[in-house]
Homo-oligomer: A and B are copies of this chain.
Amino acid sequence: MYLNIFKIGGNILDDPKRLDTFLNTFCDCSEKKILVHGGGKLASELCRQLDIKVVMNQGRRITDLMTLRVAVMVYAGWINKNLVASLLSRGCRALGLSGADGGCIIADKRKPEPVDYGFAGDLKDGSVNTIFIRQLLDKGLVPVFSPITCDPAGQLLNTNADTIASALAVAFRRYYTVRLRFLFDREGVCCPGSDKPLPLLSRAQYEKLRDQGTISDGMIPKVENALRALEQGIDEVLIGNTCIQL
């Protein structure tokens, strides 16, 4: 049985028309499915309005307590609930989740060396509560994950959405044939000086492109998570735009 895991980020979330198209196509998928979403402009906008400095390192946000509050409010609050309500209005029984809900994804706070990312969550084997999430899937519910998790002590943690999508894919590979789809506004990972996406990307090729600076910022965790998922036995990982991948 197939399980389709879709990850969408700011490029789709911030563009109402593209989001609408994505949600329609997502609802058309009649197989089991999970949606994982990242943030978008709103978190950075709100940080600016509240005079909270946005600090990024290699495409990952450094999360102090005020930034965590914004992340939880925007990701687990505004974005997650709007996605769920939009899916519901299309007849899709979406259920919004953070990792804390039902204890479905328990993370560890990232160690402060070599870079202190603050309230950032890392996942490990066993982080994903597959029993609970499978119960939801079996009831016909469609989990919609915001990139917020918590640790066993109840501390909420900001977690990279690509990492969550990848961890879900790896955790469910023993139960389903998993298709993992990282969707964004380009057709895929492109060669330097070309608009054509690479049909296939090896780890060696990725590392070369990263060291050259061709793959940078937010693409680094995306590609790393995709490669890690493949190395851990996921059948199919796609990085690209909605049209190609559905």
> Which residues of A pack against B, CB within 8 Å?
49-50, 69, 72-78, 80-82, 84-90, 93-96, 98, 100-103, 135, 139, 141, 148, 150, 152-156
Contact = CB atoms under 8 A, between A and B. Distances in A.
A80 B150 CA distance: 13
A33 to B, nearest CB: 15
| Copies held by the complex | 2
B73 A98 contact: no
A73 B81 CA distance: 9
A17 to B, nearest CB: 16
A164 to B, nearest CB: 15
Contacts of A103: 88, 93
Contacts of A148: 81
Contact of A78 (B77, B81, B85): B77
A75 B150 CA distance: 18
A95 B85 CA distance: 17
